Amino acid sequence: MNVVETQNLEKLFIDAGTEVRAVDGVSINVEEGEFTAIVGPSGSGKTTLLNMIGGLDNPTKGKVQVDKVELTELSKNELIDFRLKNIGFVFQSYNLIPVLTAYENVEFVMLLQGRDPKERKARVNELLVAVGIADKAKNRPSKLSGGQQQRVAVARALAPKPKFIIADEPTANLDSKSASTLLDIMQQLNEKEGITFLFSTHDQRVIDRARRVVTLTDGKITEDKIVDV
């Protein structure tokens, strides 16, 4: 089953009078359980594409369906609610709420969803162990390393078991060891829980971990290959 389907997705930016077609007719399907990397040089439209799929930005043209729901037909507030219930996000930085502990950050989205306390507690503890932060559950983000912060962000995105997780350059600010640990964790959770991951990256070592690699060039898909493991 396809979690994401796009048709001729297009995004046009008008920047100081000049038009930039950041995403130019992208049609892509993502199936449940995929672990897919969007790659391409800087400015090729990776962020713009992921934002449209994640309901963070409106396409200029084309269609995006997430779990059979057409995002372009939702209002701004409906989109916020849709994201809360269906999509997990890991950003490059500024992922966490600085005044909440690691534990509370992981719990946060579940709280917003109004999940029951017992369920939250079990899930948060399980994930903190899975991402290797259990001993730092009470630390605030400022007392965590960059890699640890990103692991908490992954746990936060996974906590409510969303339809899929979007991660835009999750390792960009990390050294290679932390990056590789983060990828290990993402991969394990993808296999164990079957949650779909869609992430963008520049980093060849990260690309090597993906099972499907979609290459964007100037807003167009120029290559889409399944990697045999």
Partner 1 sequence: MLLRLAWRNIWRNKRRTLITLGMIQFAVVLATLMATIRDGIMDIQVENVVGGYQGYAAINDTGYVEEPSIDYIVPYNDSVQSFLKSQNLIKSYSPRIIGGGIITRGEKFKIGRIVGVNPALEDSLTHFSKNLVKGRMHHSIGEVVLGLGLAERLKADLDSVVFITGMGYQGNTANLMLKVVGIIKLSNIQENKRLAFVTLEEAREGFALYEGVNQIVLGLRDNTKAKQSVKKLKKQFTDPVQIYSWNELNVPLYMLVEVNDAVNIIVSAMLYFIISFGLFGTILMMLAERKREFGMLIAIGMKKSKLSYITYLENTFMAIFGTALGFVIAIPVVYYLNQNPVTLTGRNAEDIAKFGFEPLVRTSMNFNIFMWQAISVLGISLFFSLYPILKIRSMNENKAMKG
Interface ranges with partner 1 (CB under 8 A)? 51, 54, 56-57, 77, 80-81, 83-85, 87, 89, 91, 94-95, 97-100, 108-109, 111-112, 156-157
**CA–CA distance, 216 with 196 (Å, rounded to integer):** 20
CB of 48 or CB of 190, closer to ligand ATP = 48
19 binds ligand ATP (CB under 6 A): no
Token output for 128: 């903190």
**CA–CA distance, 113 with 212 (Å, rounded to integer):** 31
Residue 134 has phi, psi (to 5 degrees) of -50, -40
48 binds Mg ion (CB under 5 A): no
Minimum CB distance to ligand ATP, residue 203 (Å): 11
Query: Cβ neighbours of residue 212 under 8 Å, at least 6 residues apart?
Result: 34, 35, 36, 37, 224, 225, 226, 227
In this chain, which stretch among 44-52, 75-83, 101-109, 214-222 interacts with Mg ion, using CB under 5 A? 44-52
Interaction pattern, residues 173-202, with ligand ATP; x per rule: CB under 6 A: -----------------------------x
In this chain, which stretch among 38-46, 62-70, 108-116, 184-192 interacts with ligand ATP, using CB under 6 A? 38-46
Token output for 164: 């899929």
**CA–CA distance, 167 with 197 (Å, rounded to integer):** 8
**How many residues touch ligand ATP (CB under 6 A)?**
13
What is the edge-to-edge ordering of all strands in the sheet holding 35-39? 87-90, 164-168, 196-201, 35-39, 212-217, 220-226
- 3-class secondary structure, 203: coil
Minimum CB distance to ligand ATP, residue 100 (Å): 28
53 binds ligand ATP (CB under 6 A): no
- Judged by CB under 6 A, which of 30, 35, 36, 48 binds ligand ATP? 48
47 binds Mg ion (CB under 5 A): yes
Q: Which of 55, 63, 51 is nearest to 25 (CA)?
A: 63
204 binds ligand ATP (CB under 6 A): no
Q: Which of 101, 70, 96, 68 is nearest to 157 (CA)?
A: 96
Q: Are the CB atoms for 73 and 79 separated by under 8 Å?
A: no
156 binds ligand ATP (CB under 6 A): no
51 binds Mg ion (CB under 5 A): no
Tell how strand 29-31 and strand 2-15 pair up. Answer: antiparallel
What residue ranges bind Mg ion (CB under 5 A)? Answer: 47
Residue ranges in contact with ligand ATP by CB under 6 A = 13, 15, 20, 22, 40, 42-48, 202
